[in-house]
Chain A
Amino acid sequence: MDARTDPEHREPSARPSRRSHQTRWSVKAMDKAADWIIKIGGIFVILAVFGIMAFLVRVVVPLFTGGHLEARTQHNYANVGETVLAETDEYHTVLALVQRDGTVRISHLLTGQPLKPTAFDFEGRKATAFARTLTTGDFAFGFEDGSVAFGKLTLAATILTAADLPKDATTLGERDWTDGSAVFSRIPGNQIRRVEASIELQPPQKISDRPIVSIDYHIAGTTERPTRTFVTIDAARSVRLSRAESRINTMTGAVRTNLATTDLPDLPADIELKSAFTVDAGDQVYLPDVSGTIWRYDTRDFKAPRLAEKVKLLPDGIQLTAISFLIGEQSLVVGGSDGRVYVYFRLLRADAQSTDGFTLVRAHSLETQPAAVIGIAPSPRSKMFATADISGAVWLRHSTCRQTLLILPGASPAEQTSTLLMGPREDSIIAVSPSGRTTTWQVNVPHPETTWSTIFGRVWYEGYDAPGLTWQSSSGTDQFEPKFSLVPLIFGTLKATFYALLFAVPISLAAAIYTSEFVPPSVRQTVKPAMEMMASLPSVVLGFVAALILAPLVETWIAAVLMLFVAIPLSLLVAGYLWQFIPGHLARRWQGLMRFVVIIAVVCTGGWLAFQLSVPLESLLFSGNLKAWANRDIGSGIPFTALVLTPVTALGLAVILRGSVGDAVAQRMRGVSPRMAAAIDLGHWVVHLMVAALLALIVAWTLAALGFDPRGGVVATYVQRNTLIVGFAMGFAVIPIIYTISEDALNAVPEHLRAAALACGATPWQTATRVILPTALSGVFAAVMIGMGRAVGETMIVVMAAGNTPILEWNVFNGLRALSANIAVELPEAVKDGSLYRMLFLAALTLFVMTFIVNTIAEVIRQRFRKRAVSL
């Protein structure tokens, strides 16, 4: 990045000695050695750059490779009744199948070896409905006599030393042993993990006089404030929702439980309900029927549950064959009899036909499976889920990115699936058939949520109104779905760069022209190193000065700061016109240090005026309160538009009137005293400016009448850490670079061009703008590009001053989140080889490519400039 080597400042080549024309051997040897060292060094630099690039690519590639099937095992169990629920542990050791009669068949997952079975004691009741919580291994049973019971199946793991392995344990596969009931596995560190199933069942509670036909059960909340919610349908189709909210006193251990129960209003008699669903919060109940219609009840108020809406989930003629929530209960997955799979979100919609303002919206249509979808197994970790069709095939899908990750080969002969389960670590999928055949697929899908289109395109995340571009990478729960869109970050980088350059380029170019063309070399020799010293300020220092000192100051004085951009150029122009009143001999005598001092004084006066006039000008332009004005709470955009347009109209007028009015004024100035000429020039300029302002005001009026308001685009709601601050701070970092390189380019323009222009009668200003600048243009451009490269890669200033908000707005008054800042902020929290970790590497790769392109363009132009400079 350090590109301040000046080709023009190379040492003059050594002159050949007069005494001897023979080069000494030591010089030759040194020359040869240096040649080789440079060559090898250069090759190593190139190799290192490519090495870094290759490393970044290697880390990034797995994001896009999807998943693969690691193993498939299949076992048949004899004399197995109907399996209604299944549970497995995190380590692929034990599989527990709960039968309709309460028996729990336990087996070793990978070998199929049966272990000692156990049973839920239903006390002779016949179980008619079953439910399982997604993540905690809790079960709910509904019985024929109208009672419900809650149970838990724990597959507890304990760690033992290798010596604790029972002597009589028999081996199971390569890793495991069993003593008949527990499974022992060898794990790293010469340790043994013991996994054993245990069950508990709470006494049943009677809630109805009729058999329970469907039940859904949820456990949620934090450890100290757990909630349990269940909903049941009985044979008379009355639906009852119950919720227990507990608060555990952490000081005394006392538990206060608040129980609430509500019966939903009666349903139409002619529908065939499939099941009942509720959500963790207990504020919704969903009742789907087989035809694909769903009744959604709003149960926020238990005293008055009401039907919120009735939605047709599937097209006519297609039966609803499977339905399930994904983790978090925001996405409802439905499977149809023709194999189609839809994902619905409950969203707030202004045009919703429901009583609560929400409506079910079909957000994703996934790839259609060849046969009817009869089972859905949501992942307990992410928005991944498996769907089983009637032919026995199982597809692994991801809701948000809509992709089918794996098509898992079904068992042969083909057999239907009665229970489908995804393992707790979403690395196994288990399908149980009615005949007791169990198929286990071990899968490895490390990054299901990332595809090119989710990273760079619009994605419809659950709960969002519409597809969007969002970066929100991590959170404290498994329910959270990471949102990896690089677009807001790339945008943030470009926004910071754009505003920084908008501030830095005019200042640094003006400074470069000034020092190269208008001041004596002695001044240049002090000013240039001083400017270069600015570059030595560490960017972290700039960043925290900007964030902690500049940001609050600018916030307090925002109107005055904005006025600076008007007041300083204006006062310099006024000073320029006034300077013409000074008699020629004095002006020539003062053009060195004296003029420099005057300029400084004028700039200070401009600043002072801006602060003095900020209050009246704020009330004139921004209705007295810039923040409220920018927020569109008060005032109109007309004065501001007029102010911004004034320079444009002034330039336009100057171009249009140059021939007529310009010549007339020049005519009048001829032949009068210098003081009179200066007065005419000043008067002309003042009138010109006023006309331009008036014209701008008219244009602004017209634009406002057409509905244009500058607020909402480049100026909108003000926040303290904003792009203006970043622009200032980054300007500090970029100005010295652009200044010094472009100054060199201007200075390298051969002296004869300058002399010729001045000799032809051009003023120094005309020489600078029409001869010197065009000649050095490619060098100046290269300087800007190198400055831009620095701004793109800049990290610390953005981290400290930008607020790090990943928003997609050009508003100069709010923050941004740049690629580089994002990497710096999030790397410590990224687990190695996790999705976020790889995403950050992708961000790094993107940044690398961006700076690479910018610097390459700069270098190519610099080369051209060099050739051109040489040819002159």
Chain B
Amino acid sequence: MRSFVLVAALATALPAAALAQAVQLDPALADYKQVSGVSGSLKSIGSDSLNNLMTLWAEGFRASYPNVQIEIEGKGSTTAPPALVAGTAQFGPMSRPMKGAEIDSFEKKFGYKPTAIRTAVDALAVYVHKDNPIKCLSLQQVDAMFSKTRRGGEKADIATWGQLGLTGDWAARSISLYGRNSASGTYGYFKEVGLFNGDYKDSVKEQPGSSTVVQGVASDIAGVGYSGIGYKTADVKSVPISAKTGETCYDATAENAYAGDFPIARFLYVYVNRNPAQRLDPVRAEFIRYMLSKQGQQATLKDGYFPVAGMTAKADLKAAGLEK
């Protein structure tokens, strides 16, 4: 179903398809080699943006190790730190880095800090209805649409599509905002970068998951919402974004996300409780190796996100004590 939707998305948006094909795995990524003696169970609690991807990884991993049981729960990145602290999960996927207070509560219990593994690159896209003619938005305009504090510096609130230069029927349509609930890392990251750490308007409709945001925008002609690029469907389009009003707008493509030109690109993390003085147990170690391998990153690509570079994977394997 998911891949069907993706195929449909690629078929309708030709330029995007051309770019999407251009995304290739970094040849420096290691090939995953199966080892023996891996069994046990894993539980992952955290990000909804990474939910599908975790499922894909779990499937791929279980193909090699049928004895491993994997459970995945994705209610939002903010649920990951409490779960890691309480020990109810071995992996905490998060779509934003942990904040100080969360690291503190972890450290209070274990004495060391959690280890972050960068598993995918995401262009956090701003979606509008597929019929919406909008061509480009600056971060300041995004801020004025979503935020009541407008720290980006835009003077006036933007409440209708007409204020963004759309004409005809669109001019009078009032913008209908879709967002995530506050447990979401996407909510936090969008607030940090898209809203310049300002506050959301109270009228942003909080949706429990990334796909519901996209569904909401797809069914609402005046809608606009944000979600990971992996959730894009044929019924919505992602708007090119510029970092400042008047600058070039960049599409949410892999190339722009890697280069940092797309201003709300980010890493998607998986946090793990690793005692730096000890070796990771084989199940978790192999799962991390799998995520950062060619096979694992192929899954990332399949889910619509962009794979990490070989050097990133290498650095994080080193941080997890899995490579010298």
Contact residues in B for A205 (Cβ distance below 8 Å): none
Q: How far is the CA of A398 from the CA of B242 in the complex (A)?
A: 37
Question: What residue of chain A has the Cβ atom nearest to residue B258's Cβ?
Answer: A251
Q: Choose one: A188, A633, A720, A815; the contact of B111 (CB below 8 Å).
A: A188
- With A250-B308, A825-B183, A831-B105 in contact, do A476 and B191 touch (Cβ < 8 Å)? yes
Q: Are A191 and B260 in contact (CB under 8 A)?
A: no
Q: Are B277 and A161 in contact (CB under 8 A)?
A: yes
Q: How far is the CA of A803 from the CA of B220 in the complex (A)?
A: 14
Question: What residue of chain A has the Cβ atom nearest to residue B188's Cβ?
Answer: A476
Judge whether B288 is part of the interface by a CB distance below 8 angstroms.
no
Contacting chain B: which of A42-50, A220-228, A388-396, A496-504?
Answer: A220-228
A243 to chain B, nearest CB (A): 13
Q: How far is the CA of A160 from the CA of B275 in the complex (A)?
A: 9
Q: How many residues of B contact A (CB 8 A)?
A: 73
Q: Are A803 and B259 in contact (CB under 8 A)?
A: no
Q: Are A476 and B205 in contact (CB under 8 A)?
A: no
Q: Are A249 and B188 in contact (CB under 8 A)?
A: no
A-B interface, 8 closest residue pairs, ranked by CB to CB distance from nearest? A476-B188, A247-B260, A187-B111, A829-B78, A463-B149, A829-B183, A251-B258, A476-B96
Within 8 A of B (CB), among A150-172: 158-161, 164
Q: Are B311 and A253 in contact (CB under 8 A)?
A: yes
Q: Are B82 and A480 in contact (CB under 8 A)?
A: no
Within 8 A of B (CB), among A447-493: 461, 463-464, 470, 472-480, 483, 488
Within 8 A of B (CB), among A314-358: 328, 330, 348, 357
Contact residues in A for B121 (Cβ distance below 8 Å): 250
Within 8 A of A (CB), among B244-266: 257-261, 263, 265-266
Contact residues in A for B192 (Cβ distance below 8 Å): 222, 475-477, 479
A552 to chain B, nearest CB (A): 7
Contact residues in A for B277 (Cβ distance below 8 Å): 159-161, 164, 191
B interface residues, Cβ below 8 angstroms from A: 26, 75-79, 81-82, 85-86, 96-97, 99-102, 104-105, 107, 109-112, 121, 148-151, 153, 155, 172, 174, 176, 181-183, 185, 187-189, 191-193, 196-200, 202-206, 208, 216, 219-220, 257-261, 263, 265-267, 275-277, 308-309, 311-312
Q: How far is the CA of A390 from the CA of B246 in the complex (A)?
A: 49
Contact residues in B for A418 (Cβ distance below 8 Å): none
Judge whether A283 is part of the interface by a CB distance below 8 angstroms.
yes
Q: Are A631 and B26 in contact (CB under 8 A)?
A: no
What are 14 A-B contacts with C-beta separation under 8 Å? A249-B258, A249-B260, A256-B259, A348-B150, A425-B104, A463-B149, A719-B203, A720-B205, A721-B205, A804-B206, A805-B206, A828-B76, A828-B82, A832-B85
Contact residues in B for A249 (Cβ distance below 8 Å): 258-260
- With A193-B111, A476-B187, A828-B76 in contact, do A719 and B176 touch (Cβ < 8 Å)? yes
Q: Are A251 and B275 in contact (CB under 8 A)?
A: no
A193 to chain B, nearest CB (A): 7
B223 to chain A, nearest CB (A): 9
Q: Are B102 and A159 in contact (CB under 8 A)?
A: no
- With A189-B111, A191-B112, A719-B176 in contact, do A831 and B102 touch (Cβ < 8 Å)? yes
Within 8 A of B (CB), among A528-579: 552
Q: How far is the CA of A477 from the CA of B105 in the complex (A)?
A: 15
Q: Assuming A474-B78, A633-B174, A832-B82, what are 15 further A-B pairs, CB within 8 angstroms? A: A188-B109, A188-B110, A222-B192, A249-B260, A256-B259, A281-B196, A425-B104, A464-B149, A476-B188, A552-B219, A804-B181, A804-B206, A826-B182, A829-B182, A832-B86
- Of the listed residues B107, B182, B219, B275, the one surrounded by the most CB atoms of chain A closer than 10 A to its CB is B182
Q: Are B111 and A381 in contact (CB under 8 A)?
A: no
Contact residues in A for B266 (Cβ distance below 8 Å): 222, 224
B154 to chain A, nearest CB (A): 10
Q: How far is the CA of A19 from the CA of B185 in the complex (A)?
A: 79
Q: How far is the CA of A251 from the CA of B167 in the complex (A)?
A: 40
- With A159-B112, A189-B110 in contact, do A477 and B197 touch (Cβ < 8 Å)? yes
Contact residues in A for B99 (Cβ distance below 8 Å): 476-478
B287 to chain A, nearest CB (A): 22
B258 to chain A, nearest CB (A): 4
Contact residues in B for A552 (Cβ distance below 8 Å): 219
Q: Choose one: A161, A225, A425, A806; the contact of B202 (CB below 8 Å).
A: A806
Judge whether A88 is part of the interface by a CB distance below 8 angstroms.
no
Judge whether A147 is part of the interface by a CB distance below 8 angstroms.
no
Q: Are B189 and A476 in contact (CB under 8 A)?
A: yes
Q: How far is the CA of A470 from the CA of B149 in the complex (A)?
A: 13
Judge whether A855 is part of the interface by a CB distance below 8 angstroms.
no
Contact residues in B for A814 (Cβ distance below 8 Å): 203
* Contact digits for A612-653, partner B, Cβ 8 Å, 1 yes 0 no: 000000000000000010010100000000000000000000
Number of A-B contacts (CB under 8 A): 182
A interface residues, Cβ below 8 angstroms from B: 90, 158-161, 164, 187-189, 191, 193, 222-225, 247-253, 256, 281, 283, 300, 328, 330, 348, 357, 380-381, 424-425, 461, 463-464, 470, 472-480, 483, 488, 552, 628, 631, 633, 717, 719-721, 803-807, 814-815, 825-826, 828-832, 834
Q: Are B101 and A834 in contact (CB under 8 A)?
A: yes
B116 to chain A, nearest CB (A): 10
Contact residues in B for A834 (Cβ distance below 8 Å): 101, 105
Contact residues in B for A464 (Cβ distance below 8 Å): 148-149, 199
Q: Choose one: B97, B148, B198; the contact of A223 (CB below 8 Å).
A: B97
Q: Are A477 and B188 in contact (CB under 8 A)?
A: yes
Question: What residue of chain B has the Cβ atom nearest to residue A800's Cβ?
Answer: B208
Question: What residue of chain A has the Cβ atom nearest to residue B99's Cβ?
Answer: A478
Contact residues in B for A348 (Cβ distance below 8 Å): 150, 155
Q: Are B260 and A225 in contact (CB under 8 A)?
A: yes
Q: How far is the CA of A477 from the CA of B185 in the complex (A)?
A: 10
Q: Are A829 and B76 in contact (CB under 8 A)?
A: yes
Q: How far is the CA of A717 from the CA of B172 in the complex (A)?
A: 13
Contact residues in B for A828 (Cβ distance below 8 Å): 75-76, 78-79, 82, 183
Q: How far is the CA of A830 from the CA of B259 in the complex (A)?
A: 35
B230 to chain A, nearest CB (A): 17
Contact residues in A for B174 (Cβ distance below 8 Å): 631, 633, 717
Q: Are B187 and A475 in contact (CB under 8 A)?
A: yes
B97 to chain A, nearest CB (A): 7
Question: What residue of chain A has the Cβ atom nearest to residue B265's Cβ?
Answer: A224
Q: Are A480 and B197 in contact (CB under 8 A)?
A: yes
- With A328-B197, A805-B206 in contact, do A831 and B191 touch (Cβ < 8 Å)? no
Q: Are B172 and A633 in contact (CB under 8 A)?
A: yes
Q: How far is the CA of A703 from the CA of B174 in the complex (A)?
A: 28
Q: Are A805 and B202 in contact (CB under 8 A)?
A: yes
Q: How far is the CA of A721 from the CA of B266 in the complex (A)?
A: 31
Q: Choose one: B26, B183, B197, B261; the contact of A251 (CB below 8 Å).
A: B26
Q: Are B199 and A463 in contact (CB under 8 A)?
A: yes
Contact residues in A for B220 (Cβ distance below 8 Å): 720
A384 to chain B, nearest CB (A): 13
Q: How far is the CA of A803 from the CA of B216 in the complex (A)?
A: 11
Q: Choose one: A479, A721, A804, A831; the contact of B197 (CB below 8 Å).
A: A479
Question: What residue of chain A has the Cβ atom nearest to residue B208's Cβ?
Answer: A825
Q: How far is the CA of A250 from the CA of B258 in the complex (A)?
A: 5
Q: How far is the CA of A477 from the CA of B172 in the complex (A)?
A: 36
Q: Choose one: B110, B153, B176; the contact of A300 (CB below 8 Å).
A: B153
- With A188-B111, A825-B181 in contact, do A250 and B199 touch (Cβ < 8 Å)? no
Q: Are B100 and A472 in contact (CB under 8 A)?
A: no
Q: Are B206 and A803 in contact (CB under 8 A)?
A: yes
Contact residues in A for B85 (Cβ distance below 8 Å): 831-832
- With A159-B112, A803-B206, A804-B206 in contact, do A252 and B81 touch (Cβ < 8 Å)? no
Question: What residue of chain A has the Cβ atom nearest to residue B105's Cβ?
Answer: A831
A265 to chain B, nearest CB (A): 20
B285 to chain A, nearest CB (A): 18
B191 to chain A, nearest CB (A): 5
Question: What residue of chain A has the Cβ atom nearest to residue B79's Cβ?
Answer: A828
Q: How far is the CA of A158 from the CA of B111 in the complex (A)?
A: 10
Question: What residue of chain B has the Cβ atom nearest to residue A220's Cβ?
Answer: B197
B149 to chain A, nearest CB (A): 4
Q: Are A159 and B111 in contact (CB under 8 A)?
A: yes
Q: How far is the CA of A373 from the CA of B109 in the complex (A)?
A: 38
